[in-house]
Amino acid sequence: MKNLVIVESPAKAKTIEKYLGSDFKVLSSIGHIRSIAKKTKDGTPPIDVKDGFKTIYEIDSEKKKTVAELRKALKVAETVWLATDEDREGEAIAWHLCEVLKLDPTATKRIVFHEITKNAITEAIKHPRTVDMSLVQAQQARQILDRLVGFELSPVVWQKVPGGKSAGRVQSPAVRLLVEREREITAFEGSTTFKVVAEFEAAGMPMKAELPKRFKTEPEAQAFLQTLLNATFSVSDVMTSPSVRNPGPPFTTSTLQQEANSRLGFSAKATMSSAQKLYQEGKITYMRTDSVNLGDEAKNAAASYITGAFGPQYSQIRSFKTKSASAQEAHEAIRPTDIGSERGSSNEYDQKLYDLIRRRTLASQMSPAKLEKTVVTIVISTNSEHFEAKGEVILFDGFLKVYGGSKKDADILPAVSSGDILPLKTANARQIFARPPSRYSEGSLVKKLEDLGIGRPSTYATIINTVQVRGYAEKGEAEGTPRDVIVLNLVNNAVTREVVQEKTGSDRGKLIPTPGGEVLSDFLTDHFEKIVDYDFTARVEQEFDLIADGKLERNAMLQEFYTPFHNLIEQSSDIKRSDVAQAREIGLDPKSGKPILARFGRFGPMLQLGLAEDESDKPRFAPMPANTKIDTVTLEQALVAFTLPRVVGETTDGVTIKANVGRFGPYIQIDKLFVSIKPLDPHTITIEQALELYAAKLKIEAEKNITDFGDGLKVLNGRYGPYITDGVKNAKIPKDIEPKAVTHEQAKELIAAAPAGKKRPIRKTTKSTAVKRSKKRPISPKK
- The pLDDT mean for the chain works out to 89
**Residue 779 confidence class, pLDDT cut points 50, 70, 90:** very low
pLDDT in tens, 165-202: 888 888 999 999 999 999 999 899 989 999 999 999 99
Closest Cα to residue 689, out of 698, 697, 680? 680
Distance CA 360, CA 112 (A): 25
Q: Is the pLDDT of residue 702 over 90?
A: no
Distance CA 483, CA 501 (A): 5
Task: Return the exposure string of 507-524: e unless at least 16 CB atoms fall within 10 Å of the residue's CB, then b.
Answer: beebbbbbbbbbbbbbbb
The secondary element (H helix, E strand) that includes residue 384 is strand 383-396
Cβ 443 vs Cβ 259: under 8 Å:
yes
Give the mean pLDDT of 527-532: 91
Q: Give percent of the chain above pLDDT 70.
A: 94
H-state helical runs in 608-686: 635-641
Verify cis geometry, omega within 30 degrees of 0, for the bond prior to 45: no
Q: Is the pLDDT of residue 772 over 50?
A: no
pLDDT in tens, 737-746: 888 888 998 8
Judged on CB neighbours under 10 Å (0-12, 13-18, 19+), 334 is buried
pLDDT in tens, 711-725: 889 888 887 788 999
Which residue would you say has higher pLDDT here, 326 or 457?
457
Residue 780 has a pLDDT of 43
pTM value is 0.80
User: Euclidean distance between the first and final Cα of the chain, in Å?
Assistant: 77
Residue 505 has a pLDDT of 86
Q: Give percent of the chain above pLDDT 90.
A: 64
Residue 75 has a pLDDT of 92
357 φ/ψ sector (left φ>0, alpha ψ -120 to 50, else beta): alpha
Range of 316-325, 573-582, 691-700 with top mean pLDDT: 691-700
Give the mean pLDDT of 133-143: 96
Q: Is the pLDDT of residue 775 over 70?
A: no
**Residue 680 confidence class, pLDDT cut points 50, 70, 90:** confident
Give the mean pLDDT of 423-432: 96
Q: Is the pLDDT of residue 257 over 60?
A: yes
Residue 326 has a pLDDT of 54
Give the mean pLDDT of 213-233: 95
Judged on CB neighbours under 10 Å (0-12, 13-18, 19+), 724 is buried
Residue 211, amino acid = L
Q: Is the pLDDT of residue 606 over 90?
A: no
Annotation says 286 is catalytic: yes
Q: Residue 361: count other Cβ atoms within 10 Å of its Cβ.
A: 26
Give the mean pLDDT of 219-231: 95
Beta-bridged to residue 207, according to DSSP, are 200
H-state helical runs in 407-453: 442-452
Residue 781 has a pLDDT of 44
Query: Among 203-207, 333-337, 356-360, which is the least confidently predicted range?
Result: 203-207
Q: Is the pLDDT of residue 778 over 70?
A: no
Residue 743, amino acid = T
Q: Is the pLDDT of residue 565 over 90?
A: yes
Q: How far is CA 751 from the centre of its chain?
A: 42
Q: CB neighbours of 106 closer than 8 A, spacing ≥ 6? A: 130, 131
Give the mean pLDDT of 737-763: 75
Q: Is the pLDDT of residue 770 over 80?
A: no
Distance CA 30, CA 248 (A): 36
Residue 763 has a pLDDT of 40
Q: CB neighbours of 430 closer than 8 A, spacing ≥ 6? A: 194, 195, 197, 485, 486, 487, 488
SS3 category, 77: coil
Task: Return the exposure string of 168-187: e unless at least 16 CB atoms fall within 10 Å of the residue's CB, then b.
Answer: bbbbbbbbbbbbebbeebee
The secondary element (H helix, E strand) that includes residue 626 is none
From 57, 279, 286, 723, active-site residue: 286
Please compute Rg for the chain using Cα positions: 33
Distance CA 245, CA 405 (A): 10
Residue 302 has a pLDDT of 96
pLDDT in tens, 3-25: 999 998 888 888 898 899 889 99
Distance CA 762, CA 52 (A): 43
Closest Cα to residue 353, out of 325, 329, 376, 334? 334
H-state helical runs in 161-199: 171-187
Distance CA 746, CA 743 (A): 5
DSSP notation for 284-305: BS-S--------HHHHHHHHHH
pLDDT in tens, 286-330: 999 988 999 899 999 999 999 999 999 999 999 998 776 555 445
